[in-house]
């Protein structure tokens, strides 16, 4: 209740689980107000999914004509920037760059975090934007210094180019920044989707009125209780189609996504003969004594964690050499899989006398993640003094992976 000059009074409130609205598709509901003696509020919702079909876009464009409705969803993954100019202040110093992104037709914008003192910052952050008309709208990107607020580079990209592109995707593509005075660039992964209505589900409930032929089609269970006679939900339509990329910055080509593989997990035993269960990864290590090169091969992982069976992760592996912490390496990602195969090899130049002092931090990451940063699924640290021969012999070994909220595991078994 609005009161002039005095604090407003709450007359009632209501909440509806998002999962219930998603499950119904289209809803027209009267909800009882809480914290009130009486009263209801009416809400009308339409759950949307994402599509690559041009017919869905044409239907949505016709529906949105003359109305401020979105016809598409743009997902932007900011990987990194290279060769940014120095910050211009009293003394030229390395900047604290932030990437700001917006749709030209909207005043709202989103930003990455700042990276301190870097001309080559890495962000690995993703953002989602609603687009009214991708055929005429633009994506605006600004890189600026957090300290001085001065521009470090600008980019305007017409979404029409992305709209006409096969798959409506730029895969880890570097774009040259303008007004930088040097060869600055930003690497982005862009994916455009059309919006499509999820059909309304007819919800039938057994009740005393069923015998008389009556049926309540508009009721909704706020506690999520479903009847036995409900048809199964089409989980594919409700699945989030995040494409936040975890691919390597150097991967400028556009490879096809490797699809999910059905494979049987074999029992893995440790040196004591006990079966090792839970998430684990198979890694091979080989040190070339002549060239002083360590080769690390990431073969596959099994039993990676997943919150549910219809939204599986898109896993990839990050490798970080400790304590050096040079530029991290990444495998490609595998689409929707808890037992992915990579078969990728990475090489590190390490003097013979320092090999046993090094460690490799392996982090399995879900590229879908959150819409702010790819989510770590699990990790392990390889201590080269325990698992690497310096005789040139290749050692293959399973390593248990620990989740971020679980104790560190160091169980391994020879393959």
pLDDT of 26-81, one tens digit each?
A: 888 898 888 888 889 999 888 888 888 888 888 888 777 767 788 899 999 999 99
Q: Nearest Cα to 98, choosing from 109, 89, 111, 107?
A: 111
CA proximity to 24, closest of 203, 196, 197, 195:
203
CB 125 within 8 A of CB 246: no
| 373 vs 105, residue with greater confidence | 105
Q: Where would I find the beta strands (DSSP E) of 305-408?
A: 315-322, 329-330, 341-349, 359-366, 375-383, 395-400
* Lowest-confidence pick of 284-298, 303-317, 366-380: 366-380
Q: Where are the alpha helices (DSSP H) in 129-267?
A: 159-164, 235-238
Reported in sequence order, the residue ranges of 202-340 that DSSP labels E, i.e. its strands, are 268-269, 275-276, 280-288, 293-302, 315-322, 329-330
Q: Give the pLDDT confidence score for residue 62 in this predicted structure.
A: 79
Decide which of 84 and 235 is more confident: 84
pTM above 0.85, yes or no: no
Mean residue pLDDT of the chain comes to 77
pLDDT classification of 240: cutoffs 50, 70, 90: very low
Residue 192 is classified by DSSP as E
pLDDT of residue 88: 74
> What is the per-residue pLDDT for 241?
31
The partner residues of 30 in beta bridges, in order of sequence, read 42
Q: What is the band of 201 on the pLDDT scale with cuts at 50, 70, 90? A: low
Express as a percent the part of the chain with pLDDT over 70. 76
pLDDT of residue 251: 32
Is the predicted pLDDT of residue 259 greater than 50, yes or no? no
Q: Considering only CA atoms, which of 15, 17, 20 is closest in space to residue 226?
A: 20
Q: Is the pLDDT of residue 280 over 50?
A: yes
Q: Is the pLDDT of residue 306 over 70?
A: yes
């Amino acid at each position: 209740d609005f009161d002039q000059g005095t604090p407003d009074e709450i007359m009632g409130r209501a909440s509806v689980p998002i999962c219930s609205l998603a499950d119904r598709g289209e809803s027209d509901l009267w909800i009882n107000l809480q914290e009130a003696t009486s009263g209801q509020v009416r809400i009308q919702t339409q759950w949307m999914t994402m599509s690559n079909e041009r017919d869905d876009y044409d239907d949505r464009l016709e529906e949105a004509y003359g109305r401020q409705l979105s016809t598409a969803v743009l997902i932007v993954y900011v990987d990194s920037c290279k060769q940014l100019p120095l910050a211009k202040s009293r003394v030229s110093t390395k900047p604290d760059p932030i990437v700001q992104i917006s749709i030209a037709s909207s005043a709202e914008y989103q930003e990455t975090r700042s990276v301190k003192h870097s001309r080559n910052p890495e962000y690995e952050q993703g953002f989602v934007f609603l687009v009214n008309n991708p055929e005429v709208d633009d994506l605006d990107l600004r890189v600026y210094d957090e300290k001085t607020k001065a521009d470090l580079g600008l980019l305007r990209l017409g979404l029409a180019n992305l709209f006409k592109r096969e798959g409506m995707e730029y895969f880890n593509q570097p774009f040259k920044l303008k007004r930088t005075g040097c060869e600055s660039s930003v690497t982005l992964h862009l994916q455009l989707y059309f919006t499509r209505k999820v059909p309304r589900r007819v919800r039938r409930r057994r009740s005393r009125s069923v015998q008389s032929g009556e049926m309540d089609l508009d009721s909704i269970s706020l506690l999520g209780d479903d009847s036995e006679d409900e048809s199964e939900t089409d989980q594919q339509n409700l699945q989030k189609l995040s494409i936040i990329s975890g691919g390597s910055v150097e991967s400028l080509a556009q490879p096809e996504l490797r699809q999910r593989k059905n494979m049987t997990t074999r029992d893995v035993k440790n040196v004591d003969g006990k079966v090792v269960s839970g998430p684990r990864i198979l890694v091979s290590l080989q040190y070339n004594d002549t060239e002083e090169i360590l080769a690390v091969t990431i073969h596959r992982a099994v039993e990676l964690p997943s919150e549910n069976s219809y939204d599986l992760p898109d896993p990839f592996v990050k490798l970080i050499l400790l304590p050096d912490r040079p530029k991290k390496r990444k495998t490609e990602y595998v689409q929707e899989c808890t037992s992915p195969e990579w078969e990728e090899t990475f090489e590190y130049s390490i003097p013979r006398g320092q090999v046993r002092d090094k460690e490799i931090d392996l982090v399995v990451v879900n590229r879908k993640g959150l819409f702010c940063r790819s989510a770590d699924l699990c990790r392990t640290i390889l201590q080269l003094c325990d698992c690497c021969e310096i005789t040139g012999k290749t050692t293959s070994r399973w390593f248990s992976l620990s989740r971020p909220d679980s104790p560190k595991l160091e169980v391994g078994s020879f393959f």
